[in-house]
Amino acid sequence: MSLNKKRMVREIGRRTRLSNRDVQRVVETLVEVWTEELVNGGRIELEHFVALEIQTVERHRDDPALRQTLRQIKLRVSKALREKLNP
């Protein structure tokens, strides 16, 4: 089973007693803010959970004709979450 946006909105609404509409607006806004932060080279850290940041990677460094610079998202899991996943 996976946690999609619809299930997440419903579960947050149930736990907080906020309307699903309000929760959905918050979740969508959160995704927008995070996207903007990552696109601008920033970092997102949720303490005791994960950290997301952009990493620049060069491919084909030896061949100038094939050289590419790519940006990818690097995700690091916190020590606390790692310990819960692997007791």
Look-up of token digits 């932060």: 37
Does the pTM exceed 0.75? Answer: yes
Tens digits of residue pLDDT in 9-56: 999 999 999 999 999 999 999 999 999 999 999 999 999 999 999 998
Token representation of residue 61? 């460094």
Q: How confident is the model at residue 62 (pLDDT cuts 50, 70, 90)?
A: confident
40 φ/ψ angles, rounded to the nearest 5 degrees? -85, 10
